[in-house]
């Protein structure tokens, strides 16, 4: 079982990164936000799950153990395969996933390709009580240094986003970032922009 990978990204496309390990490039399926935040040459540390099928071996990678744990829980739901599970984690953070389950809100799941009303309800039932803010996720959050946070907030506001929206994006980006990434203004800015999404930039200025 391949449990984790650490190495430079040598190729990036939507939903997939290729990580070089000892001269070998391994293709890893990742949540959309992580792919958008990754550039060729970035050093990645991914927590992985190897899915073995008759016709393929597929690696799925995540920036945190919490995401990997959520992925594993989703795979335990009848009707949810790896692609649908990673689709959920591309659309929702772990905290948003936990909130949707706690509030019995199936709407976010029905927006994911491959998940219909029946499967959405099964996700709520199957994950109930399993994703409540747990001790494993609470200590994970490491805040960016105040100077870095302030600089990124100012940069996002300069691009047209309101302060509150900028702060929320930084908080979401920080949840999946390493301490080194949190200390870098350019890196945290790039991660925050990935959370906001390029399509929203023009709307922020309107």
The CATH code of the domain that includes 13 is: 2.40.50.140
Do 55 and 94 lie in one domain? The reply is no
137 is a domain residue: no
Say how many domains are in the chain.
3
Domain that holds residue 97: 66-127
What pLDDT does 2 receive? 82
80 is a domain residue: yes
Domain end: 79, 100, 127, which one? 127
Do 117 and 71 lie in one domain? The reply is yes
141 is a domain residue: no
Please name the residue that has the structure tokens 């391949």: 2
Whether the pTM exceeds 0.85: the reply is no
Contact 61, 85 (CB under 8 A): no
What pLDDT does 164 receive? 84
Please name the residue that has the structure tokens 């996700």: 123
Angle at 153 between CA 148 and CA 159, to 5 degrees: 130
Do 116 and 152 lie in one domain? The reply is no
134 is a domain residue: no
Host H or E run for residue 59: strand 56-62
33 is a domain residue: yes
140 is a domain residue: no
**25 phi and psi, to 5 degrees?**
-90, 120
Do 108 and 158 lie in one domain? The reply is no
Do 185 and 166 lie in one domain? The reply is yes
For the chain, 206 residues long, give each residue's pLDDT as a single digit of tens: 788 999 999 999 989 999 999 899 999 999 998 998 899 999 999 999 999 988 888 999 999 989 999 999 999 999 899 999 999 999 999 989 999 998 999 999 988 988 999 999 999 999 988 875 444 444 344 556 677 778 888 888 888 888 888 888 888 877 766 666 777 888 888 888 888 875 354 445 44
Contact 51, 82 (CB under 8 A): yes
CATH of the domain at 87: 1.10.150.20
103 is a domain residue: yes
What pLDDT does 135 receive? 43
Measured from the Cβ of residue 38, the count of other Cβ atoms closer than 10 Å reads: 20
What pLDDT does 123 receive? 94
What pLDDT does 54 receive? 81
Do 114 and 162 lie in one domain? The reply is no
CA distances from 149 to 12, 160, 200 (A): 27, 17, 21
């Amino acid at each position: 079982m391949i449990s984790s990978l650490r190495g430079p990204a040598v190729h990036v496309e939507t939903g997939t990164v290729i990580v070089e390990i000892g001269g070998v490039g391994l293709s890893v399926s990742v949540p959309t936000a992580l792919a958008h935040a990754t550039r060729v040459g970035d050093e990645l540390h991914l927590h992985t799950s190897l899915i073995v099928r008759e016709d393929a071996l597929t690696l799925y990678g995540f920036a945190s153990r919490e995401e990997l744990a959520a992925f594993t829980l989703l795979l335990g739901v009848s009707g949810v395969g790896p692609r649908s599970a990673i689709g959920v984690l591309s659309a929702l953070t772990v905290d948003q996933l936990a909130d949707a389950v706690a509030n019995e809100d199936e709407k976010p799941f029905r927006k994911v390709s491959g998940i219909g009303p029946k499967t959405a309800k099964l996700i709520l039932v199957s994950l109930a009580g399993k994703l409540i803010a747990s001790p494993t996720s609470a200590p994970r959050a490491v805040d960016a240094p105040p100077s870095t946070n302030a600089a990124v907030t100012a940069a996002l506001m300069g691009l047209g986003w309101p302060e509150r929206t900028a702060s929320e994006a930084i908080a979401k980006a920080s949840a999946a970032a390493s301490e080194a990434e949190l200390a870098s203004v350019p890196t945290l800015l790039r991660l925050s922009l990935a959370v906001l999404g390029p399509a929203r930039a023009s709307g922020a200025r309107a």
